[in-house]
């Protein structure tokens, strides 16, 4: 049986990695995270004009609960006199990361059961339980995934928490022959929150509901079971109602956004406008869009787990979700993040027998023992490296630029021979834009040189050094901020830094 000391030592290590990832994970992973979470939050705060919002706003298809919660966090900062949006964003990441860490703890508890006696554990074998705890604490993508204030990340975390609370409610009802009504209500509310963060999570929740009705081996009598599920559905309905109220605040009218979302993407087929791919493309993305050597084995492990454990609740939750998403023409790796939220448990299921409950013996045989050792080393390297990497260079630059503008400044002019740095994919980023900033574009470097006659000027380029055509200005320009450290120039063999996209702010005289 797992000891409390062993469990919390590993979970403490996991918490440290989560906080590191939240601190360094500046920016966004996907455009949706920026334009449909952060900019929606900016709209609620009065920083993003409605005309700058993504198409999801006029179509009335996005839920607002997540950006609404973030907006209240930002208002709390503003009440304390903190108007720095990067401080707000850090608090969003830390808050989301703590929820994600809580889901990792909850998933580990589902795997090993109650710590004092192991009651309600998914896995009974001590060796398997130890493996499950370590996997939940050190899965390489958990800290960076949980630190993202994205709909996919927060929905996956909320779903795992809801699954865990309902699991505890089941076992308390079995032990005490009661309803444990508040647990069922809380579990349903968490599932409702997961749905409001990401509508697609409803497929996993439908699978959970069907499992509770049809497959739960410890299910009580039908009347009591329906009573418990009714309480959970009440919790879900309460959060669903809150979601519609928040949508009403944001859209200015009552909107059934889940239906409009399905109508827009599936009935009208608008989702296919963003690209089409074959059903197996998720396995290609597992190779090309994840850490080398880890993505594809985990994707295969998930499928193996579902085959080996067909009656398990995770199989019933994940398989319908997986099949629906591979059937839809447009695919992105982030669409499958809710499955990734339970990946440690799926990995344990893939490597253990549902019949015996023990890890497969071949793991301790050559050459598999060496392959498994390499997998664990690769996992450790990814866990450490990814936690210290910012997610988007442009937001890293925005923060550096913000810190260069003197407090109380009414005008800060930024010259550039390129595009406005606050325009991404043809859409403006407003929440991070300083109120005093004025961006002035020029076509010829001679124009900027003449402007220097009026006094020192600020210059933005997307390269580590000024381009060759501006070499004459190099002695008069000082880099005050770069998105890559200056010491890299010591290793500029073959001039590779000239080809790197490194956003730089110069002060030129």
pTM: 0.94
Q: Bridge partners of 359?
A: 352
Query: 142, 21 in Cβ contact below 8 A?
Result: no
pLDDT of 177: 54
pLDDT of 312: 95
Query: 346, 333 in Cβ contact below 8 A?
Result: no
Query: 451, 491 in Cβ contact below 8 A?
Result: no
In the chain, domain spans: 29-386, 393-508
Q: For residue 92, report the phi and psi dihedrals to the nearest 5 degrees.
A: -60, -45
> Cα–Cα distance between 231 and 421 in angstroms, integer?
50
> Cα–Cα distance between 361 and 391 in angstroms, integer?
40
Instruction: Report the SS3 class of residue 254.
Output: coil
pLDDT tens for the chain, 509 residues: list them.
Answer: 789 999 999 999 999 999 999 999 999 999 999 999 999 999 999 999 999 999 999 999 999 999 999 999 999 999 999 999 999 999 999 999 999 999 999 999 999 998 887 788 999 999 999 999 999 999 999 999 999 999 999 999 999 999 999 998 887 766 665 557 899 999 999 999 999 999 999 999 999 999 988 876 666 666 677 788 899 999 999 999 999 999 999 999 999 999 999 999 888 888 878 888 899 999 999 999 999 999 999 999 999 999 999 999 999 999 999 999 999 989 999 999 999 999 999 999 999 999 888 988 888 888 888 999 999 999 999 999 999 989 898 999 999 999 999 988 899 999 999 889 999 988 999 999 999 999 999 999 999 999 999 999 999 999 988 988 988 898 999 999 999 988 888 888 877 888 888 899 999 99
The dihedral over CA atoms of 308, 311, 314, 317, expressed in degrees to the nearest 10, equals 120
68: Cβ contacts below 8 Å, ≥ 6 apart: 41, 44, 246, 249, 250
pLDDT of 500: 83
> Cα–Cα distance between 348 and 126 in angstroms, integer?
13
Q: CB neighbours (10 Å) of residue 385?
A: 12
pLDDT of 216: 67
């Amino acid at each position: 049986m797992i000891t409390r000391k062993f469990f919390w030592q590993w979970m403490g290590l996991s918490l440290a990695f989560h906080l590191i990832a939240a601190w360094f994970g500046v920016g966004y992973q996907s455009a949706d995270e920026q334009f449909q979470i952060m900019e929606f939050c900016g709209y609620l705060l009065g920083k993003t004009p409605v005309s700058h919002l993504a198409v999801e706003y006029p179509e009335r298809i996005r839920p607002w609960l997540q950006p609404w919660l973030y907006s209240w966090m930002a208002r709390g900062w503003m009440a304390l006199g903190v108007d720095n949006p990067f401080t707000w964003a850090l608090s969003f990441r830390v808050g989301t990361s703590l929820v994600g860490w809580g889901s990792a703890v909850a998933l580990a508890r589902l795997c090993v059961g109650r710590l004092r006696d192991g009651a309600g554990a998914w896995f009974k074998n001590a060796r398997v339980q130890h493996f499950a705890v370590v996997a939940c604490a050190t899965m390489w993508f958990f800290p960076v995934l949980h630190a993202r204030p994205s709909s996919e990340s927060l929905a996956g975390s909320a779903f795992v928490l809801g699954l865990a609370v309902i699991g505890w409610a089941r076992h308390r009802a079995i032990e005490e022959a009661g309803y444990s009504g508040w647990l069922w209500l809380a579990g349903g509310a968490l599932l409702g929150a997961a749905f409001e963060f990401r509508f697609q999570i409803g497929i996993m929740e439908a699978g959970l509901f069907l499992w509770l009705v049809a497959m739960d081996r410890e299910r009580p009598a039908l009347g009591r079971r329906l009573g418990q599920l009714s309480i959970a559905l009440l919790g879900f309905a309460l959060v669903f109602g809150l979601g519609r109220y928040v949508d009403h605040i944001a859209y200015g009218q009552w909107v059934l956004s889940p239906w409009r979302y399905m109508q827009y993407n599936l009935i009208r087929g608008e989702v296919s406008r963003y690209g089409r791919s074959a059903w197996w493309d998720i396995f290609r993305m597992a190779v090309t869009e994840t850490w080398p050597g880890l993505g594809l084995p985990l994707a295969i492990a998930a499928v193996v787990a579902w085959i080996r454990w067909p009656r398990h609740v995770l199989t019933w939750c994940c398989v319908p979700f997986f099949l629906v998403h591979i059937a839809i023409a447009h695919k992105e790796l982030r669409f499958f993040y809710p499955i990734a939220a339970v990946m440690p448990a799926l990995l344990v299921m893939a490597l253990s027998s549902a019949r015996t409950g023990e890890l497969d013996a071949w793991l301790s045989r050559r050459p598999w023992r060496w392959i498994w050792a390499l997998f664990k080393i690769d996992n450790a390297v990814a866990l450490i490296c990814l936690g210290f990497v910012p997610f988007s260079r442009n937001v890293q630059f925005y923060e550096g630029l913000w810190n260069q503008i003197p407090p109380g400044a009414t005008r800060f002019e930024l010259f550039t021979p390129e595009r406005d740095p606050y325009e991404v994919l043809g859409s403006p980023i407003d929440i991070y834009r300083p109120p005093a900033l004025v961006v002035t574009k020029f076509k010829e470097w001679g124009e900027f040189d003449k402007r220097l006659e009026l006094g020192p000027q600020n210059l933005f380029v997307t390269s580590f050094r000024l381009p060759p055509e501006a070499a004459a200005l190099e002695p008069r320009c000082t880099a005050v901020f770069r998105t890559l450290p200056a010491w890299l120039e010591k290793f500029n063999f073959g001039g590779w830094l000239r080809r790197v996209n490194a956003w730089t702010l110069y002060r030129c005289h």
